[in-house]
Structures are given as structure tokens and as C-alpha cells.
Amino acid sequence: MEYNYQEIFIGGAFERSTAPGRLDAINPATEETFGSAPDSTAADIDKAVRAARAAFRMSGWPHLAPTERAKFLHRLADIVVEKQDEIAALITAENGMILSASKAFNVFGGALRFNYFADFLETWQQEEIRPAVAPKGAFADGHSGTPAFRAPVGTGGTSPDTMGSTARTIVRQEPVGVVGIIVPWNVPLSSISVKLGAALAAGCTAVIKPSPETSLDAILLAEAIVEAGFPPGVVNIVTGGDEAGKALVAHPDVNMIAFTGSSAVGRQIARQAGGDLKKVTLELGGKSAGIVLEDADLDIFTEGLPTASLGGYSGQSCRASTRILAPRSRYSEVVDAMVAKLSSLRIGDPLDPTTQVGPLASSAQYERVSGYLEIGKAEGARVVLGGGRPAGIDRGFYIAPTVFADVDNRMRIAQEEIFGPVLVVIPFDDEEDAIRIANDSDYGLGGTVFTKDEERGTNVARRVETGTIGVNTGGMPPLNSPFGGVKNSGLGREMGPEGFGEYLVPKSIVRV
Ligand code: NAD
């Protein structure tokens, strides 16, 4: 497999980037370079934003009947599914995610997101008429609260005040405009589709800047956009690095930035966007708690570990419950059960269907996670599993699933996002103590409560400061429910009506 792209996707056509620089695609399982894409410049971004603006103003896309926009999204979903083998294998080659997860999360996860927003449009009402309300009892003499400064044409009398009881307002939801989409490498197509699906459904146009590690699959998406027949300029895809991302955020003709990535970059984007009064959604990092209450079924807990705590992707998942909180009364039992489960996972080639744990995505990730292994050891935590490269694998960016026991929640390995297959186990005294430790974090993205008593688990979940939390499950919420973080984990929501609403601005048209 060799992919060498010279072109980026602007205004419905593939055209040569002005960039001299290239982004290499390095297979993390083999460390071999197998492709490259343009490292686009601010000039390329500018051209893409102009195309998106022109499409927003002139293509008619925002004014199409919502059910017509839905047809494009359904077509796009079908094409992504048709290309499933190529897309899934390419993403696995780029970021090392095991093939089955790549297909499930990126291909089917992506298509489901396009279809969800398309279906949503079937019943969505863009406009509603609101009769004015007369607040009760505010003014005993019947005054409406605002001066009658204008007499309506032909009445010759006092104005029926528009803030009073006679006005009817059309409240209309309009698309935000041009949306800049910036995503990381871990689930690239899923991260794009959740934003692009909502943006297109709302009538926005978009410029996508994928992660430099996963540029190539974004070009496959551009080919699918062409095949689906979207009007030129509605979707533009510009491969590039951080500088291209900065140019997109700073561009004066972009109305909104939808970002997934690290909290540090999210903060920079929020600062810039705040100064420019641009709307932002930020899906950022996490350090979520997996709370194992003393009545938990440890089989359910350990069965879920590969997905809930390793995110199906060597822990390179923002929502993974990587901080395991275990009751002192069952501490060793929980640690032993984790070691038994994680040591049974097959580590190897991510293309091999029997592999359960693949490599990390890049040498930078390998260095970062290795660094945290050293920090944990230096902080006095006890390595009970893993702690370095897996035995017998001497090529590729592999780190074995690792469990640190005897961890204090104040340690860096308990507070900072490691983004690798590294779990820490922290003891707690009782339920109150577990909730206190869970909330003693700068992050608030995911989480899980394990217990045989669903009501008890739900009550604990209500008290954890987070955006999403499961009871006996660590999965993503269903498509109709919002996903997003609190604290350093982000602003805004994706999926569900709440996620769709991020791409809309309400307009009030007042009539008397
Ligand atoms: P990153 O923040 O370094 O980069 C993300 C994207 O932002 C890339 O496309 C990058 O080129 C671009 N970028 C970098 N600096 C920029 C700037 N100043 N302005 C504009 N764009 C810029 O993150 P990463 O290392 O690629 O991804 C890992 C991070 O993503 C982790 O922290 C993880 O938790 C987070 N993440 C969050 C979610 C979520 O839904 N909350 C999902 C996946 C990943």
C-alpha cells in the first residue's frame, strides 16, 4: 500500500497545494513510511475558507429543504460503508488501531453519525411560531413594561407593544456559517463525521483540517464527498499540521471552530476564538474514573476493561476510564482480576484479526507514554503488569498494557492524561471517599460505576463531575445522547439534539 497525495480538496476539486512541505505517513506497527500528503500553508487554508464561504452564500446549500440535505448525508454514509475495507485498513496503517476497531469506530461509527443527523432532519422544525407571553403579576396596572413608542400603521392609536401580548415571533434556527473542523489522529473519521454530519445537516459549509498523522484517510473522505455529489465548496479538506490549524482558527471568515484534541491546544483555540468572537466546541482530554463499588461484579468490570479502559485502542481514547478506584476491602482482588484480564490480551500486528492490542500511534506517543512509565515508577507506584515494551516485539511503537497499584490520586500518573495502555489503581474507604477521589481531577469527560445495584450506581453517577458516565458500561452514549466534557475536558456537546444545536443560531422575526 503506497499513498502519495499531491493535492488537497477545495471547491469541489482536487488541486495542488502551494506547500513545499510534506507530511509523512509512518506505519506505527512497522515504523515504515508508506505515504505522504501536503503540509498545507495558510494560503491553502485561505483558499479553502473562501470556497466554503462562497458555497455558503451562493450554492443554495443552507436553503435546501432539510430532507434534501439528508439525502446527501445518507449517500455519503453509504459510500463510506462501500469503501469500508480500504478506509479501515488505511487508518490502521496510519495510526495502528486494530483493524476490527478501525472498521467499527471509523467506518460504521462515521456512517452512523452521518445517518443519525440525516434522520434527525426528517422531523426537525427549522421554524416555530411563539406567541408573546405576558408575565404574570409584574405590573398591577396592566402596563406591559415598555413604552408605546410606535403606533402600528393604520391604527392611529397606541402601539401594541411588541414585548407585550400581541406579537408573534417566528423563531428560526439558522446555520452558523463556515465551520472549521480540526481533529486528532485517534479516531479520525469518527471525530470528523460527528462534526461534519451535524454541520452539514444544519446547513453549514466546512473546512476540515485533519491530524498530520491521519491525512491520507481524509483524502479518501474527499473522494466520497465527490461521489456523493455535494455542491462544490460545501466540504473542503486541507491536510496540514499545527500551523494550518492555527490559520484556520485565526481566519476572519470562519464562524465556528469544532475541535477535538488536547486540552492545551483547546485552550489556545478558545483564547483566539474568544478574541475574534467565534463560536467553539471543544472535545478535549480526560482522566476518567472507573469506580468499582464493593458489591461490583468483577467479571463485568474486567470484561469491559479492553473497551472501557483501553478504549479499544491501547488507551489512546479520551473517554477511557484509566483511573480505577477500588475499595480497600477488595483492593488486591480488583488488582489481580485486572492483571489476569489484561495479561490475556494478544498484542501484535493490528491487521491480524486475532490481535487485541496494537501499537501506539507514533514515536511521539511511544516517547510520551514511556516517559509516564518512568514517572510512575519514580513516584513510588508499584508496577504489577507491563511497564515497558512487550516481550518478543522489537519493532513498532508497542507498549504492553500496564497496571500501576498503590497509587495516590495526587501522583502525576493519576492526574495527567497519559493516552496509552496504562491504568492506575487507587484505593478508597467508602462511597463518599470514591466520589471525592473521582472528582479530585482537572478533567471530567467519561467514567464508569460498577455495582450490582443499578440505582445505587446511578446515584453515584449523578454526583461525579463529568459529561458522560456509565453504570456497568464504559461505552459511548447512544447517538441520540450528548457527549462532551466539563472542566478541562471541554466545552459544548456532540451528538444528539444538543450536538446538532451547536451548529445553529436562532433568529427572531417579530410580527405584530
Ligand atoms: P493535539 O491537540 O495536539 O492536536 C489536535 C489537532 O489540532 C491536530 O489536527 C493538530 O494539527 C491541531 N493543532 C495543534 N495545535 C493547534 C493550534 N494551535 N491551533 C489549531 N490547531 C492546532 O492533539 P493530539 O495529540 O493530536 O490528540 C490527542 C488528544 O486529543 C488527547 O488529549 C485526547 O484526549 C484528545 N481527544 C479528545 C477526544 C474527545 O472527544 N474529548 C477524542 C479524541 C482525542
- Residue ranges of domains in the chain: 3-125+174-284+491-507, 135-165, 289-478
Catalytic residue, candidates 318, 431, 494, 502: 318
Superfamily of domain 3-125+174-284+491-507: Aldehyde Dehydrogenase; Chain A, domain 1 (3.40.605.10)
Catalytic residue, candidates 283, 417, 431, 502: 283
Number of neighbouring beta carbons within 10 Å of residue 399: 27
pLDDT at 165: 58
Q: Map residue 278 onto helix, strand or coil.
A: coil
Residue 309: CA atoms inside 13 Å, Cβ hemisphere, count? 30
CA angle, residues 332, 333, 338, in degrees to nearest 5: 95
**CA–centroid distance, residue 161 to ligand 1 (Å):** 50
Number of neighbouring beta carbons within 10 Å of residue 468: 25
Is 455 catalytic? The answer is no
Average pLDDT, the chain: 94
Stretches in the chain below the pLDDT threshold 70? 1, 134-165
421 CB under 6 A from ligand 1? no
Residue 170 β-bridge partners: 129, 509
268 CB under 6 A from ligand 1? yes
CA angle, residues 466, 437, 343, in degrees to nearest 5: 90
- Residue 11: exposed, middle, or buried by beta-carbon count in 10 A (0-12, 13-18, 19+)? middle
403 to 153, 414, 449: CA distances (angstroms) = 76, 12, 19
Residue 4 β-bridge partners: 36
**CA–centroid distance, residue 265 to ligand 1 (Å):** 7
**CA–centroid distance, residue 275 to ligand 1 (Å):** 21
213 CB under 6 A from ligand 1? no
Is 318 catalytic? The answer is yes
**CA–centroid distance, residue 362 to ligand 1 (Å):** 14
Superfamily of domain 289-478: Aldehyde Dehydrogenase; Chain A, domain 2 (3.40.309.10)
* Dihedral (Cα; 426, 427, 430, 436), 10-degree rounding: -30
The DSSP H or E segment spanning 159 is none
- The C-alpha cell at 305 is 476493561
